[in-house]
Amino acid sequence: MDDSEAVSIDMEKLADTLSGNLETLHHLSKDCSIYRVAEPTRCLNPSHFTPQMVSIGPFHHGKEELKPMEEHKERYLKYFLQRTKVRMARFLSFIKERETKLRNCYAETIRNLGSDEFVAMVLVDAVFLIEFFLRFCEPDCRTDDDRIFTKTKLFLVIRYDFFILNDLLQLAKTATYDDDFYREISLLTITISWFREDLSGFLPIEEKLFENHFSKAAHFLDLFMLCLQPSQSRAPIQLKYLRLPGVKELHRAGVKIKAGSSQNLLDIKFEKGILAIPFIPVFDKTELFYRNLLAFEWPHDYTPYFNDYIIMIMTLITAPKDAELLFENEIVGLSEELPTIFRNLSKDCTLVFDEFLYSGLLVDLYIYCKSPLHKWRASLKQNYFNTPWKIILILRGPVDMIHVLYFLSLKKLIYVNIKSNKMS
């Protein structure tokens, strides 16, 4: 056998191996909605994408540092089963029938869990979430051994399928020991209570939107993205570059800054010289929460509206003085952390010049600020009419001049009269 024949056989073996790999490729389903965060993004802020207390789903299942909560999750399952006559085996069979659909929700093959282990994990994790929302909504359901509601503050960024949560809750309701208990309870009612009290501060969304999109959403991050859509469509203008001064400089150029009335963060508007920015909530978990929204927006093929929002706010607050102006106008509650938070978030954003959501707004601001009339009016107002005392002094100026002229005329008239009397 010559060398060429040996090489040919080796290539055939390699081709067979590669073909085998192609046959076992994970099928990307249209149900896919859960993605592992890209490693470069994760490395920059690992704590923002890694559960600190409880593991939900297969990505972090079995990690040593999260095992202490596994016993508590099983305790939740025990209490959940005590309220229904449906046996555990029925729940497991129910999940087993849907295993393929559940696995297809993930963008990668779940190789670390066999079928039985995967089904058991789904039951424990899904019931844990149902029980968590139930206890949040109904304090009477809480027990003395509940570590979550008695000793800790649990913040969940949940990527877990609504359909299995809803289906398991509905299955539990088919036969219960207390029919009245579950009568008014649904996945929507218990989760909206949690959203209203625990998350609305991070992401102000109208409850009507939350309810309207709930049935369409795959999970909570998907629900938030469905709610975070501009209230009005805007035709993008292709930008050559993004150059805009901060809000302090815009204010000096004549732009009035005020808090927008909309609850939708994305509804930044510029009309008749007024830049209206909806209230920006800032809390200790704001950056973590926003970063998870950004990480989900791109792979799930959403139009990157939230990405554009982060870029826009970062552009408007280039310095602490910009954040202070927003604070003075009640657009933000805390100003010190704002520039840092949005500067950090913008590192995960991508600016697409011909599709930027706020391109038209930027052009309008640029044209407005270039007008000499607007600059002159702003300078007059900020330098001469910025306090009541200055206004009084400026308004008195012409009046004082009239008084001087009047007294000079009166003095001259008296002088002429006296002189004429002497001559006579």
Indicate whether 268 pLDDT > 90: yes
Indicate whether 391 pLDDT > 90: no
DSSP-assigned letters across all residues of 190-208: HHHHHIIIIITTTS---HH
Angle at 215 between CA 137 and CA 121, to 5 degrees: 65
Q: How many CB atoms lie within 10 A of CB 218?
A: 20
The answer to whether the beta carbons of residues 378 and 253 sit under 8 Å apart is yes
pLDDT band per the 50, 70, 90 thresholds, residue 5: low
Indicate whether 365 pLDDT > 70: yes
pLDDT of residue 311: 94
The H or E element that residue 277 is part of is strand 274-277
DSSP-assigned letters across all residues of 214-276: HTT-SSHHHHHHHH-S-SS-------S------HHHHHHTTPEEEE-S-S-TT--EEETTEEE
Average pLDDT of 246-270? Answer: 91
The answer to whether the beta carbons of residues 324 and 201 sit under 8 Å apart is no
pLDDT band per the 50, 70, 90 thresholds, residue 160: low
Ranked by mean pLDDT, the top range of 15-29, 35-49, 190-204, 334-348 is 334-348
Which own/partner pairs from 209-214 qualify as long-range (CB within 8 Å, at least 24 positions apart)? 214/162, 214/188
Indicate whether 65 pLDDT > 50: yes
- Of 36-45, 95-104, 212-221, 311-320, which gets the smallest average pLDDT? 36-45
- Of 38-47, 225-234, 346-355, which gets the smallest average pLDDT? 38-47
Indicate whether 388 pLDDT > 90: no
Indicate whether 416 pLDDT > 50: no
Indicate whether 104 pLDDT > 90: no
Token pair for residue 324?
Answer: 């202070």
pLDDT band per the 50, 70, 90 thresholds, residue 405: very low
**Average pLDDT score over the chain:** 79
Indicate whether 376 pLDDT > 50: no
pLDDT band per the 50, 70, 90 thresholds, residue 314: very high
pLDDT of residue 410: 52
Average pLDDT of 384-391? Answer: 45
Indicate whether 318 pLDDT > 90: no
Indicate whether 174 pLDDT > 50: yes
Residue whose structure tokens are 């791109």: 298
The percent of residues in the chain predicted with pLDDT above 90, rounded, is 24
pLDDT of residue 119: 94
pTM assigned to the model: 0.77
Average pLDDT of 341-363? Answer: 88
Average pLDDT of 355-373? Answer: 83
pLDDT (tens digit per residue) in 176-200 = 877 777 777 888 888 888 887 777 6
pLDDT band per the 50, 70, 90 thresholds, residue 372: low
